[in-house]
Each structure stands twice: as C-alpha cells, then as structure tokens.
Amino acid sequence: MSLKLYNTMGRKIEDFIPINKDIVRFYGCGPTVYKFAHIGNLRAYVFQDILTRTLLFLGYNVKHVMNITDIGHLSDDGDDGEDKMLKSARETGLTVAQIADIYIKAFFEDVDNLNIKRPSIICRATEHINDMIELIKKIEKNGHTYMSEGNLYFDISTFHDYGKLSGVDIETLKPGARIDIDKNKKNPNDFVLWFTKSKFKNHALLWDSPWGRGYPGWHIECSAMSIKYLGEHFDIHTGGIDHIRVHHTNEIAQSESATGKKWVNYWLHNEFLITDKGKMSKSKGDVFVLNDIIRQGFSPLDYRFFLLGGHYRKQLAFSWEALETAKNARKKLLERVKKILKDCPREKLNKCEEIVNNCNFENYKGYISNERLISHLINFKEAIEKDLNTPNALSFLQAVIKERNIKSEEILIAIAMIDSVLGLDIIKESQKLKETSDNLDNIDIEKIEELIKERKQAKIDKDYKKADNIRELLKSQNIVLEDTPNGTIWKVIDSK
Ligand code: AMP
Ligand code: ZN
C-alpha cells in the first residue's frame, strides 16, 4: 500500500504522489497570536504533526512551513470587524508586538507540551510585508484587482475557478446573511488585498506600499510566505475546515492569479473539536486552553491520546469524562510498557530513542524478526496510510503491547516505531513511571512519618526554621508535604 489522503479539492481519497520524490513540501495555516490557542485550535496542530510524522515514517523528507498571523486577521474571516491583534492590544493596554510575543511563547509551550514537532520554518506575517507587496503587484499586473475608496480589492469575477475548493457556486451566493455587504465591493465575495483606509483610528501598524500607507488583508500572508519558502507549486496545504470557504478559497485565488498556474496539489482539513454547544469557539464561552487541562490534573499527552482516538476528518466531542477515559487508557498502556521495560537492558533503549525521534519504516523494519510483531507493524502502517487513521492505528499499538513470549527489546523497538508517528512518548513516560515506583520501593516510610512528627513538634515550639529544614530535606528526596485540615500528608514527586 501507499499513502492515501482525502483531498478537499475534488472531495475524494487520492494516492499521494509528491511533486519531488525526495521531499514533501507542506504549508499549514498557523495561529493568530492575539490570545491563547484553545484546545480546538490545538487539534489542528496535532493533526499537522501526525501528517509530518507519517510522511517521515514513510521515508519522505519534509519541509513544513507554518505562519504566525500577527497582523490582518479581522474578527470576521472576511473583511469585516476589527483586527484581532489590535483589539487585544486596545483591551490590554499592551502594544501589538508585546501581545504577539506573549502568545507566540505560549503557543510554542503548548506545541512542546503536546509533543508536536516544530515546523521546519515558522514565519511571521509582519516580517514578510515586502513579500506580500511584491505578490500583490503581480496580481494587480495580471488584472485581478481594483481600487475602491482607498482599499485594493481582489476582483473574483476575473478568476475563473473561484470557489473550486468549497464547491460553492458563486453565482448562487447572494449578499446578506454571512456575507458582508460592503458598498465599495463590486461583488460581496471580493476581498481586500491592501487596506489604506483603516476602519479604526490610530491603526498601530502601517507600511508604505504602491497603493498608499496601510496594511495587508489577512489571506495574502499565506500566499506570499508559502510561495517564498516552498515555491509556486507545492504538495500539501492544511487547516481547519472553517478555512475552506473563505480563507483558503481566497488564498487560491490570489496565488493562482499571481503565478497563472496550479498552486497546491492536496488540500487537507481537520474537523472541529466540539462540545455540547457545537464547535469549540471563544464566542460560545465554553473554551478550554491546555493549561486548564493541566490544572485539572491531566497531562497534555492525555489530551493528545484523546485526540488520536478520533479520526481527523470526524468531529470529536470534548468532555471531561471523555478525557478521563483517555487518561485511564494511557495509564494502562504505560503500566504495561513499564513491565516490558523491566526485562530490557538499559543500553538497548538508546536505539528506541533514536527510532522514536525519526523512524523511516523501511530502514528499521529489519530490527524486528518476530512474525507477529511484523504483522502488527504492517497493519499499523496500513492504518496510518489510509488517510491517517489514528483510531485504527492505536489498536495495533495495543496488539503490540499485549504480546507475550517475545524478547522485550524487540517489542520496545516496535513500540518506538509506532510511537514515532503517534508522538505519545510512550517509552520515556513509562520509564518515568518505573522510576517513580522504583523510588517508592526504596522509600523508608517509617523515617518519613518520624520526620513529619518532628516537624509538627517544631511548629508547636515555633521553631519554624527547623520545620522548614525538614520540609526541604524531604523535598530533596522527592517527597513533598501538604498540610491539610486532617494533618500532614506526603507525596512522591517526579524527580525530573
Ligand atoms: P486561528 O488561530 O483562529 O486562525 O485558528 C487556528 C486553527 O484552528 C485553524 O486551522 C482553525 O481552522 C482551527 N480551529 C479553530 N477552531 C477549531 C475547533 N473547534 N476544532 C478544531 N480546529 C479548530
Ligand atoms: Zn492561511
């Protein structure tokens, strides 16, 4: 089998054939950095990560570009509403640059916590204004624009294939409802390439351009930066399904009008994370960020495990109960792997680490000789090749860890190969669990209880220094104390 992907363009599963067989070039729309990414947004990036990891597993090199929107994304995806970055700056009293710095940092902390590989290139819109201006010049030269009331618009009537991605017949779209009625536009679906007439006084970010001092529309950044880093024709473009109708449709119109040729071969879109109120979104007020999950006692990897239990093209319903189920299932998995680790010489684990970081299936399959393991691995590969079917792929991971009477190092290598795609850090996490339980085995409980009693007495004697010293002594042995109304309790903490 070979990789098959569902292409939104054409709405069918297709064999994946890269333009250049040695390297897959892919662009994923990145975050707008005006607030914390919510866990629905993060689904989009875990999906991009599974795609990257799958491509690596199948032996491709990958050049993955992600943009950071730090200008131009209005509160409506079209040309309506206020710039999200400027609104956030106005509300907090910070500058746009400060807002961007805070949320870029927070975003990449989430990315690291979720074990998402960093893209090869991360590019900020505000650092690519010249590239955008150059691209707009080409679009203008090719006759696809008009000026109206100080703003430069893209004229969709000049682009024959407008709407081909969403399959919406533009003729049938009437102004009203969800489409902005802007009297400066010839067609309500025309969109701004360059604003010079800000709707807001004191617009903080303005650049000189051939059309006047102003700022870019939102969509042009993705066209300009993807072409700059990946060329005029590349393999894959991803985003959430909400981007199909406006953002990606407009990206295609711009890019193909500028170059006169096909821009992207495969369009992949993830479905929404939903709650009982529908799509998780800020406006509905039931939004959680990754830190909420951590505060509730979950690991970010519990959330990743939960996400992998759903296919990226299906809606996934978030609830705390569902997350609890995922947490328990992951714990069970790690407990089982912990047992396998007990029988494996430590030096053999280096190979696993190498594999989990970058596994090309063909290069490593020779390390497995057991027939049953080989068959689970092939089943796993076929599941992931079938449009990234992670729920199915997880079942073959379960089959591997349930195996008995096979050398533990061979099982661990198979786990590492699978985990190079799933990104659950299974062996490392199981090792941590093992170390915690090894520590517990070595703990002298009587000694701890004695020290707690001594600390209690020290507090009664108002010898707070001694009480603190005892707390610190225990902490240095990874034991933390917690004073509760029912007395002092102790816990073993992770030493890392
Ligand atoms: P934004 O920062 O608003 O541009 O969104 C970042 C990414 O998250 C985009 O690819 C969106 O399509 C995606 N997205 C937004 N809401 C959800 C959701 N509830 N579930 C999954 N993906 C989402
Ligand atoms: Zn984009």
Residues with CB under 5 A from ligand 2 (ion): 29, 222
Which residue reads 């992770």 in tokens? 494
Instruction: Give mean pLDDT, residues 70-80.
Output: 67
Residue 174 has pLDDT above 70, yes or no: no
Instruction: Give mean pLDDT, residues 287-305.
Output: 96
Q: Which of 33, 242, 250 to mutate to test the pocket of ligand 1 (most atoms within 8 A of CB)?
A: 242
348 pLDDT tier (thresholds 50, 70, 90): confident
User: For residues 439 and 456, what is the distance between their CA atoms, to the nearest angstrom?
Assistant: 25
Please report the atom of ligand 1 found closest to the CA of residue 41: 8
The predicted pLDDT at position 486 comes to 79
Output Rg (C-alpha) for the chain, integer angstroms. 27
Residue 494 has pLDDT above 70, yes or no: no
- Beta strand 151-154 pairing with 191-195: antiparallel
105 pLDDT tier (thresholds 50, 70, 90): very high
The predicted pLDDT at position 261 comes to 97
With contact defined as beta carbons under 8 Å apart, do 16 and 55 qualify? no
Q: pLDDT averaged over the chain? A: 91
- Enter the tokens of residue 271: 């479905």
Residue 175 has pLDDT above 90, yes or no: no
Ligand nearest to the CA of residue 225, numbered in listed order: 2
Distance from CA of residue 357 to its chain's centroid?
18
Cβ(43) – ligand 1 distance below 6 Å: yes
Instruction: Give mean pLDDT, residues 281-300.
Output: 89
477 pLDDT tier (thresholds 50, 70, 90): confident
The predicted pLDDT at position 178 comes to 43
Instruction: Give mean pLDDT, residues 120-137.
Output: 97
CB count within 10 Å of CB 199 equals 12
Q: Which of 38, 41, 46, 288 to mutate to test the pocket of ligand 1 (most atoms within 8 A of CB)?
A: 41
Residue 177 has pLDDT above 50, yes or no: no
Q: At what angle do helices 129-141 and 249-259 cross, to 10 degrees?
A: 70
Please report the atom of ligand 1 found closest to the CA of residue 37: 2
Higher pLDDT, 177 or 320: 320
CB count within 10 Å of CB 98 equals 13
Per-residue pLDDT of 188-221, as tens digits, reads 999 999 998 766 666 668 899 999 999 999 899 9
Length of the chain: 496
Cβ(32) – ligand 1 distance below 6 Å: yes
The predicted pLDDT at position 476 comes to 85
Buried b vs exposed e over 201-224: b needs ≥16 C-beta within 10 Å?
eebbbeeebebeebbbbbbbbbbb
The predicted pLDDT at position 444 comes to 80
Please report the atom of ligand 1 found closest to the CA of residue 73: 4
48 pLDDT tier (thresholds 50, 70, 90): very high
User: For residues 274 and 291, what is the distance between their CA atoms, to the nearest angstrom?
Assistant: 18
76 pLDDT tier (thresholds 50, 70, 90): low
CA–centroid distance, residue 294 to ligand 1 (Å): 20
Please report the atom of ligand 1 found closest to the CA of residue 280: 19
244 pLDDT tier (thresholds 50, 70, 90): very high
Show the DSSP H helices in 190-298 as ranges: 220-230, 249-259, 290-295
Instruction: Give mean pLDDT, residues 63-86.
Output: 77
CA–centroid distance, residue 242 to ligand 2 (Å): 11
Weakest-pLDDT range from 17-21, 282-286, 314-318, 447-451: 282-286
CB count within 10 Å of CB 231 equals 14
User: For residues 133 and 156, what is the distance between their CA atoms, to the nearest angstrom?
Assistant: 19
Please report the atom of ligand 1 found closest to the CA of residue 273: 20
97 pLDDT tier (thresholds 50, 70, 90): confident
- Provide CB contacts within 8 A for 55, sequence distance 6+: 3, 24, 26, 62
Cβ(245) – ligand 1 distance below 6 Å: no
CA–centroid distance, residue 327 to ligand 1 (Å): 24
Residue 74 has pLDDT above 80, yes or no: no
The predicted pLDDT at position 329 comes to 98
Closest C-alpha to ligand 1, atom 8: 41
Provide the percentage of residues in the chain whose pLDDT is more than 70: 92
Per-residue pLDDT of 374-404, as tens digits, reads 999 999 999 999 999 999 999 999 999 999 9
Provide the percentage of residues in the chain whose pLDDT is more than 90: 73
Q: Which 3 state secondary structure label does DSSP give 196?
A: coil
Residue 36 has pLDDT above 50, yes or no: yes
Residue 170 has pLDDT above 80, yes or no: no
Instruction: Give mean pLDDT, residues 138-153.
Output: 96
The predicted pLDDT at position 79 comes to 64
80 pLDDT tier (thresholds 50, 70, 90): low
Residue 171 has pLDDT above 80, yes or no: no
Q: What are phi and psi of 35, to 5 degrees?
A: -160, 175
The predicted pLDDT at position 203 comes to 66
The predicted pLDDT at position 95 comes to 84
123 pLDDT tier (thresholds 50, 70, 90): very high
The predicted pLDDT at position 78 comes to 60
- Enter the tokens of residue 233: 């024709």
Strand partners, 435: none
Instruction: Give mean pLDDT, residues 313-341.
Output: 97
- Enter the tokens of residue 151: 């703003």
172 pLDDT tier (thresholds 50, 70, 90): low
Q: Side chain identity at 289, as an amino acid letter?
A: V
Show the DSSP H helices in 203-259 as ranges: 220-230, 249-259
Instruction: Give mean pLDDT, residues 427-454.
Output: 85
Residue 484 has pLDDT above 80, yes or no: yes
User: For residues 3 and 16, what is the distance between their CA atoms, to the nearest angstrom?
Assistant: 6
Higher pLDDT, 72 or 4: 4
The predicted pLDDT at position 169 comes to 62
Ligand nearest to the CA of residue 66, numbered in listed order: 2
User: For residues 457 and 460, what is the distance between their CA atoms, to the nearest angstrom?
Assistant: 5
